[in-house]
Structure 1
């Protein structure tokens, strides 16, 4: 399965909110969710973002690819920096033997 981390639109007309989810990258946006990582409410003042950092990092390390919008939200939450550091450690460990 080519997992993707993306935003799933929920909410009423004119009041969008999004769930940050993991799903099969070959399926449409509103299909069955593999994992729910958090939510994003752009209409709140200030915009609210809540992400399960451990679960998001696990999915990234397992090979899930975030979309641009999801990547931006994960960066604001600090998940992408943690992923980059973990990835560098894995590469360093492989190089050492």
Structure 2
């Protein structure tokens, strides 16, 4: 199974994350298929950038986002409140500050 999940980067106690598409069996910071965005919760305001077209593609072919990634994708209007894929024309912008 393919998952869309966060991959931790950054220094100790200063995390930043990459949104990656990876096989569910690979370790958190291990092998991945593609980077589709990044998230920095430390900066103020928080920075969240997602390649919306690639996220839509991977969800369309069956990739399962984790709970945290689902919440982040809802913030950038890729998923609706129920977790379903929104049409591309309803998207505000591919990068939104969270």
Q: Does the TM-score normalized on the shorter chain lie above 0.5?
A: yes
The CA RMSD measured in Å over matched residues stands at: 1.5
Per the TM alignment, residue 85 of structure 1 is displaced from its structure 2 partner at its CA by: 4.1
Q: 1:14 to 1:25 in 2, by over 3 A?
A: same
**Helix, strand or coil for the counterpart of 1:56?**
helix
Structure 2 equivalent of residue 38 of structure 1: 37
Per the TM alignment, residue 31 of structure 1 is displaced from its structure 2 partner at its CA by: 1.3
Structure 2 equivalent of residue 84 of structure 1: 85
Indicate the structure (1 or 2) with the bigger Cα radius of gyration.
Answer: 1
Per the TM alignment, residue 80 of structure 1 is displaced from its structure 2 partner at its CA by: 1.0
**Helix, strand or coil for the counterpart of 2:27?**
coil
Q: 1:49 to 1:43 in 2, by over 3 A?
A: same
Per the TM alignment, residue 84 of structure 1 is displaced from its structure 2 partner at its CA by: 2.8
Q: Please list every run of 5 or more consecutive structure 2 residues that lacks an aligned counterpart in the other structure.
A: 88-98
Which runs of 4 or more aligned residues in structure 1 lie more than 3 Å from their structure 2 counterparts after TM superposition?
A: none
**Helix, strand or coil for the counterpart of 2:29?**
coil
Per the TM alignment, residue 69 of structure 1 is displaced from its structure 2 partner at its CA by: 0.7
Q: Between Structure 1 and Structure 2, which shows a larger proportion of helix residues?
A: 1
How many residue pairs get aligned? The number is 85
Normalising by structure 2, we get a TM-score of 0.81
Paired with 2:26 and 2:13, the residues of 1 have a C-alpha distance of 25
